[in-house]
A and B are shown apart, each in its own frame.
Chain A
Amino acid sequence: MTQINRLQGGQINRDRPLKFMFDGKFYQGFEGDTLASALLANNVRLMGRSFKYHRPRGPLTAGSEEPNAIVELRGGARREPNTRATTAELYDGLVAHSQNRWPSLAFDAMAINDRFSNFLTAGFYYKTFMWPKAFWEKLYEPIIRRAAGLGALSGREDPDVYDKGFRHCDLLIIGAGPAGLMAALTAGRAGADVILADEDFRMGGRLNAETFEISGQSGADWAASAVAELSSLPNVRLMPRTTIIGAFDHGIYGAVERISDHLHMPDADKPRQILWRITTRQTILCAGATERPIAFDNNDRPGVMLASALRTYANRFAATPAKRIAIFTNNDDGHRTARDLQACGVQIAAVVDTRPDAALSTDYQVLRGAQVIDTKGRLGLTFAEVKLADGSERTLECGALGVSGGWNPNVHLTCHQRGRPAWQDDIAAFVPGGILPMGMRVAGAATGALSTHQALVTGKEAARKALGLKGRAPKVADAEDMPVNMTPFWYVKGTTRGWLDQQNDVTVKDVKLSHQEGFRSVEHLKRYTTLGMATDQGKTSNMGGLAIMAELAGKSIPETGTTIFRPPYTPVPIGTFGGRMRGTEFHPTRLTPSHNWAKEQGAVFVEVGNWLRAQWFPRPGETHWRQSVDREVRQTRASVGVCDCTTLGKIDVQGTDAARFLNFVYANGMAKLPVGKTRYGLMLREDGIVMDDGTAARLEEDHFVVTTTTANAGKVYQHMEFVRQCLMPDADVQLISTTEAWAQYAVAGPNSRKLLEKIVDADHDISNDAFPFMACANITVCGGLRARLFRISFSGELAFEIAVPSRYGDSLMRKLMQQGEEFGVTPYGTEALGVMRIEKGHAAGNELNGTTTALNLGLGRMVSTAKDTIGAALSRRPGLNEADALKLVGLKPLDPETKITAGGHLMRADGPVDAAHDQGYVTSAAFSPAMNSMIGLALLKQGDERLGETLRLVSPLTDLTISVEVVSAHFVDPKGERLRA
């Protein structure tokens, strides 16, 4: 448990040692470490294998841009693949595994791929796995999938909870480096409602990683005191461990807050992560800059890192990958790394500077005009080969090599909408350009102004502008203001196996090949080579690829252009996007007032819309659902049954123009419906297709209650509001959905009146004379409880629907069952309901399928020609009124034992079975207890003229061919005598 590469100082808490395990071996780190810093402190540089060639890899960076140090965290159901060790906060008991290696990280059998790298270049899959075509799915793809890729999911359900939330503020500041902290201090002190978000667990950004001072304080101390002041301001919300993943329209930002990722497991009442939607008036992007590497042969060995990352590990984490380090740079910032490392006691092998005029140093050797041309070391760097200015070569012994190719401002969020980055020559990098997202300003290194002084100044100014602050601005604290001094240098000439994209194993050679084969636009380059397509989205690699492509094409880098930056900024677990919407919480579950009663009866439920409806009620001894359903149907038709129809949509329509309004909405006439009567209503879409059906009951002159099908309740209400507000704005009519306000039950069967007479208060006469078929009334039940009674029938029997306020639904159901005992009352579910409506030939959802017209359903005459209604004009289109239009008919199999399947198609008794000879299709099918046979409803060409014809019902999918007879759809009581009884 020795940390031989641990240095002095740093922002780690040596009083809190943490034990952790990597690849089965225990190590010790400290609070404040990341997994990567703790491993480096323990002299572990090798952390993974590369995607394609299985090359040994260690961390390249110290942040979220990391392409290499990708590990699997935790175990069991919490296993979390492809996690960046450079951002994983160390906790006691952390368990991590390396990925993409077998049998072990040090000896990986698939590293053989590296030997075949000449074959595995860009476009390899496209060229190699073309033939034979059938081999792709069965052979090539499975092999490739097994060989490539990184970590694997556990395959088990994630035990953690993920949440979503909304936040609002005046000013969102993204990034808590010097610019972000200064902006937050300025805005916070001015009283603005501020959110300051930073992906790191410690706010301060580069200040924590550097040695320079602000007003005589160390940068890290200045940051800590700024954070302390901000924490004390009630109008400032600090969100550490929070990544702003995307900039969306109108000042909305996506943010992922890692609540529990730094814990062994989340606290009992805490989610793992929260996806925030932050709505803000103004935004200041202080995302900083990312250092970029230089490509040279074998620049991917563990130990070759960004120079600034070495500085971060040394200054912030008191860790170093090696005790002797070389630097390869094209700018002055590389020298800063050398000085910082030397100050920490690390030996500097040399600073290799590409610039012939680079400043020399008395503290370390500077090799001017030199380049690193190759490296050695099987599982980690041991030597760097350097070509000196005079052409001679020298070998430097070093355990790490810091590479500094300049800095790229993190422009990503500025480009999530219409922003397109602009080129800035002095830093040879893209800076924010084009049209930024609404309300966004950029400050600090993200603008290309790379000094601390500039960060403080631009942070303050951005906040003042965002808030419109007037008056003299206070002076910012003293800080370094070193100019950027760099000469662009992207790759060492002659390099072939110099890595650009380490995560996707894209080399300089691949980019050259892409150019040679004509894939020269940056978007083509990206797809052909997969440059920048890995989980790091090319944060450290895209610029190098662009620069080489530009050079090959003889264009400038800005002419070559960049690919488009898209959210998310860093990878987000799918679970975070899902939030709580998992399993039964994927959508709301709606229960009717008598749901518990139905549950007590052992009902089997089915989802209809968001509702749970009883499908059937099994009785003891019944082993098949058909037994229960047949019994429910028989019992209802023989005596009385009760069905919960609360879920049907109910819309209250009131106002002096209510009748006129409904007359327009429904295809059939509603204007003359008398008070106390109910009428079937057919609603069309404007294109003449049936939208929905239901009933309209006129309770008073200016008060109707209309019903919709369960599934269309919301849609129909919305449609009616559209008609009211957009087409009839001058009408005096108001709508309100009362679906949830009333519990409603169908009481059906020859004994239904007798049963209801026991419940309806005696002063309401519900005899056939006083309350005939299609009557409706406001009544009272059970001694004064207000209720509504409708004499309507879906089953074809003498039937009523009774509605009571929702909270009485459960009691009413129990009362109906109790009072109905003498009649042998049965509850029935949606299956029995369906059987009875098929027996009656009533159209339902299967027939109202979005393609059928009133004519198809045999309801053509209902569409009034005397008035203008929604859909009437286009229902008269010639195309919908062809002579051979589909008509609703009934079907009976010639052999009553055979099954009819919905979805089967009808063909003539003789002749071909193909689409050209299609005669129609079966919409609904059921076993009819009344007919003692399977029956079906079908839409058949000219069906109304073909009763008695024998057809073939075919279903090629299920290999079914049977003979059926076309019959009337009204199987039971065709004259409707029962329902008028």
Chain B
Amino acid sequence: MRIECPICGSRERREFYYQGADGMIARPDPDAGGEVWHAYLHLRDNPAGETRDLWYHEGGCGAWIVVTRNTVTHEVLGTRLASDAREAAS
């Protein structure tokens, strides 16, 4: 598997640490309430198809990256820095 790091370019996936769903970027308000926090921390979709998750370029530049990929075909459809993805979302 290879991942395109927005800073370093195409790299072997062994350089990356896999975190999980990209929803971790969208941290709730501290007083959003138990249900919202529960969903943020514990509830995950398990899509057959396109999904977005967070990877950390541990063996490279240290960037946190949002990777859009297809769980069925294993295609990597796009990558962007998590900091950019967050700005775009807000």
Which A residues are within 8 Å of any B CB, using their own CB?
166, 248-252, 277, 279, 417-418, 435, 438, 686-687, 718, 721-722, 725-727, 729, 868, 872-874, 877
Contacts and interface: CB of A to CB of B under 8 A. Distances in A.
B30 A727 contact: no
6 contacts: A279-B12, A686-B40, A687-B41, A722-B56, A729-B87, A874-B41
Contacts of B9: none
B55 to A, nearest CB: 11
Contact of A718 (B17, B74, B86): B17
A418 B83 CA distance: 34
Nearest to A718: B56
A722 B83 contact: no
B83 A725 contact: yes
Contacts of B17: 718
A718 B2 contact: no
Contacts of A727: 25, 27, 86
A248 B2 CA distance: 10
A504 to B, nearest CB: 32
Contacts of A721: 56, 62, 64
Interface residues of B, number: 31
* In the complex, the 8 A-B pairs of residues with the closest C-beta atoms, listed nearest first: A729-B83, A868-B30, A249-B1, A250-B2, A725-B64, A726-B82, A249-B74, A726-B25
A868 to B, nearest CB: 4
B31 interface: yes
B87 to A, nearest CB: 7
A623 B15 CA distance: 46
Contacts of A722: 19, 24, 54, 56, 64
A346 B1 CA distance: 52
B21 interface: no
Contacts of B46: none
B83 A718 contact: no
A873 B31 contact: yes
Nearest to A685: B41
Contacts of B58: 718
A725 B40 CA distance: 18
A873 B81 contact: no
A249 B14 CA distance: 13
A718 B60 CA distance: 12
Contacts of B25: 726-727
B12 to A, nearest CB: 7
Contacts of A435: 73
Interface in B53-90: 54, 56, 58, 62-64, 73-76, 81-83, 86-87
Contacts of B2: 249-252, 279
Contact of A250 (B24, B32, B41, B76): B76
A873 B28 CA distance: 10
Nearest to A417: B74
B47 interface: no
A248 B1 contact: yes
A872 B62 CA distance: 26
Nearest to B1: A249
Which secondary structure dominates chain B's binding surface? mixed
A249 B54 CA distance: 19
A594 B86 CA distance: 44
Nearest to A877: B34
A635 B64 CA distance: 47
A501 B34 CA distance: 60
Contacts of A729: 82-83, 86-87
Contacts of B87: 729
A279 B3 CA distance: 13
Given A249-B1, A249-B2, 11 more contacts: A250-B2, A435-B73, A718-B58, A721-B62, A725-B63, A725-B83, A726-B24, A726-B54, A726-B82, A729-B82, A877-B34
Contacts of A874: 37, 41
A528 B64 CA distance: 48
Contacts of A277: 12
B82 to A, nearest CB: 5
B85 to A, nearest CB: 8
Contacts of B30: 868, 872-873
Contacts of A166: 12
B56 to A, nearest CB: 6
Nearest to B19: A722
Contacts of A251: 2
Contacts of B74: 249-250, 417
A875 to B, nearest CB: 11
Contacts of B81: 725
A407 B28 CA distance: 62
A726 B1 contact: no
Contacts of A252: 1-2
Contacts of B37: 873-874
B37 to A, nearest CB: 6
Nearest to B34: A877
A257 B63 CA distance: 35
A686 B2 CA distance: 30
Contacts of A868: 30
A725 B37 CA distance: 20
B23 to A, nearest CB: 11
Q: Which of A248, A686, A729, A868 has most B Cβ within 10 Å?
A: A729
Q: Which of B27, B34, B54, B63 has most A Cβ within 10 Å?
A: B27
B26 to A, nearest CB: 9
A687 B40 CA distance: 10
B62 to A, nearest CB: 6
Contacts of B27: 686, 727
Nearest to B27: A727
B41 A726 contact: no
A248 B31 CA distance: 45
A874 B33 CA distance: 9
Nearest to B22: A726
Contacts of B40: 686
Contacts of B24: 722, 726
Nearest to B74: A249
A678 B79 CA distance: 40
B69 to A, nearest CB: 10
A981 to B, nearest CB: 41
A249 B75 CA distance: 8
Nearest to B73: A418
A878 to B, nearest CB: 9
Contacts of B62: 721
A252 B83 CA distance: 30
Contacts of A718: 17, 56, 58
Contacts of B73: 418, 435
B63 to A, nearest CB: 7
Nearest to A736: B62
A583 to B, nearest CB: 22
B42 to A, nearest CB: 8
B34 A686 contact: no
Contacts of B82: 725-726, 729
A687 B30 CA distance: 12
Nearest to A248: B1
Nearest to A715: B17
A718 B18 CA distance: 11
B58 to A, nearest CB: 7
Nearest to B72: A418
A874 B1 CA distance: 36
A686 B41 contact: yes
B1 A250 contact: yes
A250 B27 CA distance: 32
Nearest to B87: A729
A868 B41 CA distance: 16
A182 B87 CA distance: 52
Nearest to B82: A726
B24 to A, nearest CB: 7
B22 to A, nearest CB: 9
